[in-house]
Amino acid sequence: MKNEIKIMLDKQSEWQKNRAKLSWSEKLDQSLVLRATCIELRKGYDVHTHASVVAEARDEYEAGKLVK
Amino acid sequence: MKEVAKLLNSMVEKNIISDYAVFGAVAQMRYTEAVATMDADILVSISSEGDLVLITPIYDFCASLGYLPEGDAIRVGDWPVQFVPSFNPLTDEAMLTAEYTEIDSVAIRVVRADYLAVIALSVGRNKDFLRILSLIDSGVITHKEICMLAGKHGLSDAWNNFNLRFINEK
């Protein structure tokens, strides 16, 4: 599970850099991963923006809470 | 979402519904960056008996194709899909004016950005207000367009309150 979160975060960083180029379909795929990330982080569905999900997830990731 | 689009189009073909349009967060993401969402919301127009709107045919049709209920939604591939019968003149108009586009080469109808914003204004939860701000930030709609459509549907006060709270422009 921890490796999966790392992969999600890496993907999100990449997506954030390229978000202006994303198609609607790609953004919907990204949304599915965001939802999965929320669930993995046990924050439920009620985390609504990409930026907040990424920021919170990255903080936890960098603090070593998610991946040792 | 391609699978959802195919399902919606086949529902129209088979007269299960007369019309549909994607709205909510999935529609918003045509214009903004991705957001986390629980499900795909679909406005539908279906026959009614008196005041009673029946969505049973939708559930029966989906079940016949192997798409089964999951909470308030029906699971279609990766997406829980929530079918929402049009519930007022604003949503009726949103469906009538919905845009034709494609998702992975499959046709799909989607509510326009101005109607997305005003529907969000009418619902009025925090995440709906965030949707309006995201749409404005994306540059796809202007304050003036929202103001005009809100006024047309009796939502001028709601728009003024939103403006005061989040934008502070008169």
**Percent of chain B, pLDDT > 90?**
71
**Chain A contacts in chain B segment 30-59 (CB below 8 A):** 30, 33-38
Q: Which of B61, B114, B110, B62 is nearest to B90 (CA)?
A: B114
Inter-chain CB proximity A50 and B38 less than 8 Å: no
Looking at the fold, whether B159 and B119 belong to one and the same domain comes out as yes
State the smallest CA–CA distance between residue B122 and chain A in angstroms: 19
Q: Is residue A14 part of a domain?
A: yes
Measured between alpha carbons, how far is B94 from B86 in angstroms, rounded to an integer? 9
Question: Is beta strand B79-85 parallel, antiparallel or unpaired with respect to B73-76?
Answer: antiparallel
Measured between alpha carbons, how far is A34 from A13 in angstroms, rounded to an integer? 12
Q: Is residue A36 part of a domain?
A: yes
Inter-chain CB proximity A30 and B1 less than 8 Å: no
- Give the phi and the psi of residue B64 in degrees, each rounded to 5: -65, -20
Identify the pLDDT of residue A51: 53
* Residues of the domain holding B59: 2-111
Q: Is residue A11 part of a domain?
A: yes
**Residue pLDDT, tens place only, B94-104:** 999 999 999 99
Looking at the fold, whether B83 and B126 belong to one and the same domain comes out as no
Which of A19, A29, A35 to probe by mutation at the B interface, max B CB count within 10 Å?
A35
Inter-chain CB proximity B35 and A37 less than 8 Å: no
pLDDT mean by block of 10 residues, chain B; 170 residues: 96 94 95 84 82 80 95 92 94 96 95 97 88 88 95 96 78
Looking at the fold, whether B46 and B102 belong to one and the same domain comes out as yes
Q: Is residue A67 part of a domain?
A: no
Question: Is beta strand B19-23 parallel, antiparallel or unpaired with respect to B40-45?
Answer: antiparallel
Looking at the fold, whether B132 and B90 belong to one and the same domain comes out as no
Identify the pLDDT of residue B90: 97
A contacts of B104 (beta carbons < 8 Å):
25
Taking only the tens of pLDDT, chain A with its 68 residues reads 456 556 666 666 665 566 556 789 988 888 887 777 766 665 554 444 445 555 565 566 556 554 43
* Residues of the domain holding A25: 2-62
- The CATH number of the domain holding residue B98 is 3.30.460
Looking at the fold, whether B26 and B67 belong to one and the same domain comes out as yes
Number of domains in chain A: 1
Looking at the fold, whether B83 and B96 belong to one and the same domain comes out as yes
Judge whether B112 and B95 are in contact, CB under 8 Å: no
Q: Which of A17, A53, A18 is nearest to A32 (CA)?
A: A53
Number of domains in chain B: 2
Looking at the fold, whether B65 and B78 belong to one and the same domain comes out as yes
Choosing from B111, B137, B155, the residue where a domain stops is B111
Nearest CB among A28, A45, A53 relative to B38 is that of A45
Tell whether B132 lies on the interface with A, counting CB pairs under 8 A.
no
Identify the pLDDT of residue B89: 96
Measured between alpha carbons, how far is B154 from B158 in angstroms, rounded to an integer? 9
A contacts of B2 (beta carbons < 8 Å):
25
Inter-chain CB proximity A27 and B103 less than 8 Å: no
Looking at the fold, whether B20 and B71 belong to one and the same domain comes out as yes
**Residue pLDDT, tens place only, B70-118:** 888 999 999 999 999 998 999 999 999 999 999 999 999 999 999 999 9
Identify the pLDDT of residue B6: 97
Which value does ipTM take for this structure? 0.86
Looking at the fold, whether B106 and B122 belong to one and the same domain comes out as no
Nearest CB among B33, B78, B101 relative to A50 is that of B33
Q: Is residue A8 part of a domain?
A: yes
